Amino acid sequence: MSRSLRARAFGGAMSLTCGAALIASTFTVPAAVGTEALPELMREADEEASVVEVVVADATELDRLVDTGADLDHAVHDNPDGTYTAHVVATPGEVAALAAYGFNIGDVVHDEDDTEAALAEREATISAARAENAAFAAEVAASAEVADVKVIRADYYTNFGQGYLSVEAKWTNGQNSTSTLLVERDSGPGTEIGSGGTQNITRFVDASVYMYHRGASTVSTRPDKIRVTSPSGDSVVVEVTDWLPIEGDSIFGPNYQTDFINSYLTPTELYQRIHDLQAEFPQISEIVELPYKTNGYRRLAQGLLGTANANRVGIDSKAWGHEGGNGIVVSTVNPGTANSPLNVSVSGKNITVSLATNASGAVTSTAAQVAAAINASPEASDLVTAYTYRGNAGTGVVAAGTATLTDGLQAPASVSREPQTVYALRIGKVRDGSKMGVLAYAQEHAREWVPPLVTIEAAERLLRNYAHDGKTKQLVNNLDIWIVPSVNPDGGHYSFYDYASQRRNMTRHCALTGNADFSARNSWGVDINRNYDTYSRFDGYNGASSSCTSDTYAGPAEFSEPESRNIDWIAATNRNIKFSMNLHSSGNYFMWSPGAYITPGRISAPRPSLADEAFFWGASSRILTEIKRYRGMSVTPARTGPISDVLYSAAGNSGDMLWYKYGIYGWNFEVGTQFQPPFENANPAGASAHAESQEYANGLIELMRVAYDLDKDHQKPSSSVVSKPSATPGMIDVTFDVSEPASVFYTLDGSAPTFDSTLYAASGVREGAETITVPKGTTINFFSVDAAGNVEKNYRPDGKGKNYNKTTVK
């Protein structure tokens, strides 16, 4: 679909949503207990982070947890009693803060298998769900022939060789009753329903609104048909479809080479790897230096004097640690005489503060006075800045002590401390913008070490197979492929060498009156995937924080960080890019827009059109099938879909920016089940960076094949009207049938349809197309256009064309 068509399709919804955003422009986290001021979530540098379980009562409470800025590791699952269990990366101090907010803290998660959990699915628009429920109930009430239960999906899939049946169904009384629905299955074609066993599916309620019943069960044989029965006795029989079937061999040739990953790679090593590749294959690749350098893997040298908040003094060097800040020594000394004044002296890199004493010789200098004296000394203030501890009044008396300033950074000298250029590897025989573009980028979140390996594996496969594999040559000759293995190199280096749980970049935005001291150094940085300019926190959307110590900190402004500006620059200056993959971990999800909503009310960013939703699902099936081909790992149906359906709101994420701002089909991988799994695993089905790099590289290459196929698609779609009598006398229910994923534009007033006409829409998330009810005798004029921009019958939708489709329903 062209960008102009997508803008037309989303125009009205976008204006309504942005209007709502103006009303809800600021988020607050309500206190759950008491009225006292609640603590801020912040990590002290001497605390170790763990993954802990937090149990919340419902989806509203889950949103409240997200709003605290808690660092969710993507594992959230619903419990039989309707509660949710979230896994949060937290230090003991953060756990105490969450408890003060009224959250129920559960077990610490030790076993890596325990970190994998099913995410609760959620609908993005609650009002739409209510309307769907009401429409279904009205349909049942109007006709005795319509069952009060309908099946949304019935999927058979295998995961590591085990068969599963996943069923989603809706019941008219699901809002009011907690009863389960009975699913009976046959044991194959021609067998009796029930012979394959039964299972119960339970209802899914989100924000107090019933969505549907769902559940999955292991099966010994693939069922052909199932029967779903409601508590009233109504039932419906449907055929089971295959989810991610694998048919035939790989499309690549027998000499196709894979498996180029041998270990984890730091950002420095990632960049060296793509430079080496480009040097080896200069005819079909180039290195692109992205325009915005990062702040760098560097910090000011810091120290703390004192032990209690009231008598602590924070010290920051004026120079970066590696440029002279490291090794500055600040000492407070008792002069040992009575009535001595407060005095500051400097010798080289040594700052000595002689504390004031009273008539009895006791020290009287407070933290506030010491900080002021250091800052007032021309020689000392050339070297350092002093401040009281985290905004404290500093009334405590300072004791004698010494602080040796350090930036605390542990990486070897081979890791540059200077502002870092972010590099992209551009692959393609033709790289002038005339070919279909595909963007793959990883490590927006620093601690996610596996996703960069996926991009390197894919790059190696493209370049090393080009000379001898026809399918690879087809991709490289016809696509313009951009690979950014590390968007956030500063944070990546910090995660490797200093603090493994680092999510953000390293830039400190905290004021000196806040959490800016040395002990807070593991709490700084901006969540790059919350710093973009589309449906962001600054527009009033949920899932990003204004706190400079939150792991979902959106930054002081949209695009405040060079890392996010680089991704925007790639999209803005290369308008041939039509596909993207944002690689993250963990959880084994596959998602797309919308990725953000407003609470309360779950006011979602605009949903894709029916055609685009169908295209997302169809392309996803291809991509996920190739992932499964490597070792049988299935990304399940429940973990596939729009971000705000299968995860939670993520305001200001890059996928939404690429989709809504630039019209790029953007997907998001959540690779594996943990951030830093063992590189190898004796269990073939276990968490393994090596295996995950291979299976998801399969998927990334398949995305490129999807792009290639769309670019070469010149087949025009066809569309037709399907009609049946409505439950309302004198009315007809109408749907459109299309030959492929395509948008249908139609009129009911006899006029020629154009791109400004009504766009046929989806009735709801995961439920297919809407039903239009019109009077008998209505003439419907319509045409279709597919994702490649092919218009049915070569019709000119400018209001002057005549060869549109015309049907009169009777």
pLDDT digits (tens, 9 = 90+) for 359-395: 999 999 999 999 999 999 999 999 999 999 999 999 9
What's the mean pLDDT in 421-435?
A: 98
Give the total residue count for the chain.
Answer: 810
What beta strand segments (E) does 91-196 contain? 104-108, 149-159, 162-171, 181-185
CA distance 650 to 528: 11
What does the pLDDT look like over 143-157, one tens digit per residue? 888 899 999 889 998
557 pLDDT higher than 60: yes
Give the residue from 370, 452, 473 showing the smallest Cα distance to 700: 452
Residue 646 lies in a domain: yes
What does the pLDDT look like over 614-637, one tens digit per residue? 788 888 888 998 999 999 898 887
- If phi over 0 gives left and psi between -120 and 50 gives alpha, with beta otherwise, what is residue 187? alpha
- Residue 600, Cβ density class (10 Å: 0-12 exposed, 13-18 middle, ≥19 buried): exposed
Q: At a CB cut-off of 8 Å and minimum separation 6, what does 683 contact?
A: none
CA distance 149 to 172: 7
Confidence of residue 449 (pLDDT cuts 50, 70, 90): very high
Given 115, 134, 169, the domain boundary residue is 115
CA distance 51 to 101: 18
Helices within 365-434 (DSSP H only): 367-376, 378-383
229 and 254 share a domain? no
Given 674, 703, 732, the domain boundary residue is 703
Confidence of residue 20 (pLDDT cuts 50, 70, 90): very low
680 and 597 share a domain? yes
Phi then psi for 160, rounded to 5 degrees? 55, 40
218 and 256 share a domain? no
Phi then psi for 296, rounded to 5 degrees? 105, 155
* 518: DSSP letter: G
Residue 47 lies in a domain: yes
* Residue 323: CB atoms within 10 Å: 15
Which pLDDT score is estimated for 121? 26
Confidence of residue 401 (pLDDT cuts 50, 70, 90): very high
**DSSP β-ladder status, 329-333 and 350-354:** parallel
Which pLDDT score is estimated for 768? 61
421 pLDDT higher than 50: yes
Residue 500 lies in a domain: yes
**The residue to which tokens 């489709």 are assigned:** 805
Could you tell me which residues are beta bridge partners of residue 387? 314
Lowest mean pLDDT among 107-121, 203-217, 320-334, 400-414: 107-121
253 and 339 share a domain? no
SS3 label, residue 475 = helix
Instruction: Compute CA distances 368 → 372, 400, 537, 695, whole Å.
Output: 6, 15, 36, 58
* Residue 799: CB atoms within 10 Å: 12
What does the pLDDT look like over 346-361, one tens digit per residue? 999 999 999 999 999 9
**DSSP β-ladder status, 640-642 and 589-592:** parallel
| Domain at 585, CATH number | 3.40.630.10
Lowest mean pLDDT among 29-43, 236-250, 345-359: 29-43
Lowest mean pLDDT among 474-483, 513-522, 675-684: 675-684
254 and 233 share a domain? no
Which pLDDT score is estimated for 128? 62
Which pLDDT score is estimated for 6? 35
563 and 686 share a domain? yes
Q: How is residue 249 written in tokens?
A: 């061999």
SS3 label, residue 766 = coil
70 pLDDT higher than 90: no
Which pLDDT score is estimated for 206? 56
What does the pLDDT look like over 751-805, one tens digit per residue? 999 988 888 865 444 556 778 999 999 999 999 988 888 899 999 888 888 999 9
469 and 366 share a domain? no
**DSSP β-ladder status, 329-333 and 401-404:** antiparallel
What does the pLDDT look like over 288-328, one tens digit per residue? 999 999 999 999 999 999 999 999 999 999 999 999 999 99
What beta strand segments (E) does 306-354 contain? 313-320, 329-333, 343-347, 350-354
What's the mean pLDDT in 329-334?
A: 98
110 pLDDT higher than 80: no
C-alpha Rg value of the chain to the nearest Å: 30
Could you give the angle at the alpha carbon of 637 between the alpha carbons of 631 and 639, nearest 5°? 85
What's the mean pLDDT in 497-501?
A: 94
Most confident stretch, 77-81, 131-135, 234-238: 234-238
Q: How is residue 311 written in tokens?
A: 């008598």
What does the pLDDT look like over 726-761, one tens digit per residue? 988 999 999 999 988 888 889 999 999 998 888 886
605 and 508 share a domain? yes
pTM assigned to the model: 0.80
* 658: DSSP letter: I
Give the residue from 668, 670, 695, 692 showing the smallest Cα distance to 439: 668
Q: Which residue has the higher pLDDT, 97 or 489?
A: 489
Long-range contacts of 127-134 (CB under 8 A, 24+ apart): 127/601, 128/764, 128/765, 129/206, 129/209, 129/210, 129/211, 129/764, 130/209, 132/170, 132/763, 132/764, 132/767, 133/170, 133/172, 133/174, 133/175, 133/209, 133/210
Which pLDDT score is estimated for 119? 25
Average pLDDT value over all residues in the chain: 88
CA distance 391 to 486: 36
540 and 641 share a domain? yes
Q: Which residue has the higher pLDDT, 730 or 246?
A: 730
Give the residue from 409, 416, 412 showing the smallest Cα distance to 301: 409
Residue 433 lies in a domain: no
CA distance 567 to 583: 13
Please state, for a pLDDT cut of 90, what percent of the chain lies above it.
Answer: 63
What beta strand segments (E) does 160-261 contain? 162-171, 181-185, 197-206, 209-219, 225-229, 235-239, 241-242
Q: Are 122 and 644 in contact (CB under 8 A)?
A: yes
Residue 713 lies in a domain: no
Catalytic residue among 53, 94, 563, 670: 670
31 pLDDT higher than 70: no
Please state, for a pLDDT cut of 70, what percent of the chain lies above it.
Answer: 90
Residue 551 lies in a domain: yes
Confidence of residue 74 (pLDDT cuts 50, 70, 90): low
Residue 24 lies in a domain: no
645 pLDDT higher than 90: no
Within 13 A of 741's CA, how many CA atoms are on the CB side? 19
SS3 label, residue 538 = helix
Cα dihedral 555, 557, 559, 562 sign:
negative
Q: How far apart are the first and last CA of the chain?
A: 32
What's the mean pLDDT in 714-732?
A: 93
Give the residue from 687, 624, 655 showing the smallest Cα distance to 444: 655
71 pLDDT higher than 60: yes
528 and 673 share a domain? yes
Which pLDDT score is estimated for 11? 29
Structural domain that includes position 383: 300-404
Q: Are 44 and 93 in contact (CB under 8 A)?
A: yes
CA distance 245 to 632: 10
742 and 601 share a domain? no
| Domain at 150, CATH number | 2.60.40
Active site residue 48: no
Which pLDDT score is estimated for 614? 78
Q: At a CB cut-off of 8 Å and minimum separation 6, what does 323 contact?
A: none
Q: How far is CA 170 from its chain centroid? A: 28
Structural domain count of the chain: 5
Q: At a CB cut-off of 8 Å and minimum separation 6, what does 17 contact?
A: 535, 598, 603, 604, 605, 606
Which pLDDT score is estimated for 117? 28
Q: Are 360 and 354 in contact (CB under 8 A)?
A: no
Could you give the angle at the alpha carbon of 281 between the alpha carbons of 276 and 286, nearest 5°? 75
Residue 526 lies in a domain: yes
Please report which helix (H) or strand (E) contains residue 669, including its range. Answer: strand 665-670
Q: How is residue 722 written in tokens?
A: 């399907």
Which pLDDT score is estimated for 303? 98
668 and 729 share a domain? no
Given 209, 227, 242, the domain boundary residue is 242
Q: How is residue 791 written in tokens?
A: 């218009």
